[in-house]
Chains A and B, each alone.
Chain A
Amino acid sequence: MGTRSLSSTANCRPPGSAQNALRLQTSPHNVSEMQRDLQASPQMTSTGYTVPSLLQLNDDVLALILRQLNLYEQFELAQLHSRLESIRQTLWRTRVQNVLLWGEMFAISPPKPRHFLAFIQALVPHMEHLCLQNIDVRKLRLLSGLKLPAVHTLEWLGLPTYRGRLVDEDVRLLQRVFPSLRTLKLRSCRITGKYLGEFPLLTELSLDDCHHLDSEHFREIFRQLRLRKFDIMEDCDEVNCCDLVDVQQCLTLEHIKIADYHLCMEEGITQDLLRMPALHKLSIYSKNFVFDVLERIARHGNGNDGGKVIDGFRFSGTPHNFERLFRELGNLRHLRRLAVDGCCSLAGNDVECITDYMLLELSQKLPELCELRFSGCELESYRGLLHFVVNCRQLRLLDITRSRRIGDSFVWRCLELLVKQKWRTQPLELWIRQSDIDNNIVQNPRFIPNDKLLKIDSRSLTHNMEQLSGVLKFTFVR
């Protein structure tokens, strides 16, 4: 028999066979299915045309259709038939713990207030996390009569226009409607912070683009709340910002994200921050004072004066002075994890790069390094990296994702060194995705016998590649 394409389907129709055989056979088993079919029988339109009914589909397929619609469309469609309503309820029972509502959902057919409330009330039994994005603030005010204690996370991502902006009184409303909030994120609001201290269970507070914040209220916030995470890093510009010098009074804080101008980064403040008992991560956005911030933190980050020991540091962006950056990093003596993202010369400046000498000095000062990441960096040559292989005996991960001027020679020189390091108990991992090392090097006969010394990974992605430029992130030994 010759090969055929679909047509490779051979129709062997027996003579006299019915074109449209009955699909259902009558048996007690499928009586209910027949009843459903009768219910789902085609509807006649005004023009006399018979419209086949959507309800002829079984519940599984109807559920799949509903899942392709947004939550409000699901709710609206379910209002049209009790079967759809029952499917909607089953879907929501397991699928709406995290709810995202955005303005455009309601743009085409704006709901009446009662209808919007009915929609929210239908969500209530299942919802734990609610994110409201670009929603008219008047819709939020419609909820004033409700109490939603099951919601523990709320994000309000407002419109930058007047109608989207939440004000102080709305914060009070949030406190009444969502009494059990543990995480609150507010973006694009016109609030002073006056009522932010009234969420007794709050552990995470994030404020972004919230103009009119008043320093005075933060004293109360940091005294009253037992926050674990506080993020105000992307709040507003350095001229219109509030002073958060009282942040150190919130002793439960584990993670702080701020900008240098929130603290003025005076010596005393830096020391106090590093004495906060629970602090594990500190992220500081600094536009013009990167080296000052780094110097002040590094000075107290070796555990000498009762402060914390810094064991991880990440910097993203291009510093004005490469040499100074690496010199300051050398002061973080107990560093175990170092990541530098996007450290390359500015446009039109081909001269500046991370030199071999800078890396030699750094490798000698940071003998405890375990993980080293240079992603998207411009190096003088591969030789600088070799110093870390020689001087850092605990180094187990070297990530050079998107970095340039390294080349295959690095792998061969690295292998020569690793062969001699008899004390190594595990292979060195080398991440080379989008670098100038050939991905096929792992198939090279010269490499294959040594894959127990060096594990090359060309797939793993360096996380947080799109970090805000100019952020210094410190992690401390717990």
Chain B
Amino acid sequence: MADTQKLVSLRTCDNVLHKVPEHLTLQMRTIRNLLSCKIFSDTDTVIPLPNVSSQMLEFVIKWCEAIGPGDKALGSMQLSTLLTATLPDLEESELVYDLMKAANYLEIESLLEATTQHVADEINNCNSLESVCELFGLENDIGPDDEEGEWW
């Protein structure tokens, strides 16, 4: 059977060319806007993605496949569960940060919400500010709080 699926050519920052089904790229607002411009409407034109690596684009496409087309109104819990189920390799924070940057650049709201919720949950799981600093590589540039008073 002849394949009628349209593919969009995306070149990532590590110079890898990806041919991605158009229906998946339409979930990325940045690409959707570009495709609506005449210059990129020809699917043979390669769209450069200077801020997205090949590895991240593959994560992004897995996400777009999982979330499906249209604006599904999923709650933050559902998004979080979907993120863990779809991208189980996201243990390392470096990967999460890169994925957030990609989601931000490509304007995929659902992925941004899921990843920011993932980080917020990790912050919530810390039981002290010191452990937040340690986990998120933060160096306090404001100065320590004075010790005083009682706690309750």
B101 interfacial contact with A, CB 8 Å: yes
Residues A54 and B137 in contact, CB atoms below 8 Å apart: yes
**Of A12, A23, A69, the contact of B124 (CB 8 Å cutoff):** A69
Q: Which residue of B132, B138, B150 is within 8 Å of A113 (Cβ)?
A: B150
Contact assessment for B17 and A57 in the assembled complex, using a CB-CB cutoff below 8 Å = no
Contact of A5 among B65, B127, B141 (CB under 8 A): B65
Is the C-beta of B5 less than 8 angstroms from some C-beta in chain A? yes
Task: Tally B residues with Cβ within 8 Å of A.
Answer: 57
Interface size on A, residues (CB 8 A): 55
**Whole-angstrom distance between the alpha carbons of A11 and B17 in the complex?**
6
Interface string of B135-152 (1 = CB under 8 A from A): 111111110011011111
Cα–Cα, bound, A1→B113 (Å):
35
Is there contact, CB below 8 Å, between B129 and A65?
A: no
Given contacts A64-B112, A68-B117, contact A13 B16 (CB under 8 A): yes
Tell which of B15, B20, B116, B135 touches A65, judged by Cβ atoms closer than 8 Å. Answer: B116
| B124 A73 Cβ-Cβ under 8 A | yes
CA distance A10 to B58 in the complex (A): 10
Stretch from A76-84, A244-252, A269-277 forming part of the interface with B: A76-84
For the complex formed, measure the closest distance between the CB of A324 and the CB atoms of chain B, giving whole angstroms.
Answer: 47
- B117, A9: Cβ atoms under 8 Å? no
Query: By the criterion CB–CB under 8 Å, are A42 and B3 in contact?
Result: no
**How far is the CB of B142 from the nearest CB of chain A, in Å?**
6
In the complex, residue of chain B having the shortest beta-carbon distance to the beta carbon of A111: B151
B37-45, B47-55, B67-75: which lies at the A interface?
Answer: B47-55
CB distance A52 to B97 under 8 Å? yes
- A114:B97 contact, CB within 8 angstroms: no
Partner pick for A115 among B19, B76, B132, B145, CB 8 A cutoff: B145
- Does A321 sit at the interface, judged by CB under 8 A? no
A18–B15 contact, CB under 8 A? yes
* Pair A114/B51 contact, Cβ less than 8 Å: no
* Residue A3 CB within 8 A of the other chain: yes
A-side interface residues toward B, CB under 8 Å? 1-3, 5-6, 8-14, 17-21, 23, 40, 42-43, 45, 51-58, 60-61, 64-65, 67-69, 73, 76-77, 79-82, 85, 108-115, 136, 138
What are 6 pairs between A and B in contact, CB < 8 Å?
A9-B61, A10-B19, A11-B18, A19-B14, A65-B120, A112-B148
7 closest cross-chain pairs (CB), A and B = A68-B120, A53-B137, A51-B137, A54-B136, A43-B137, A12-B17, A17-B15
5 further A-B contacts with Cβ under 8 Å, apart from A9-B19, A77-B132, are A17-B16, A23-B13, A56-B97, A64-B116, A81-B139
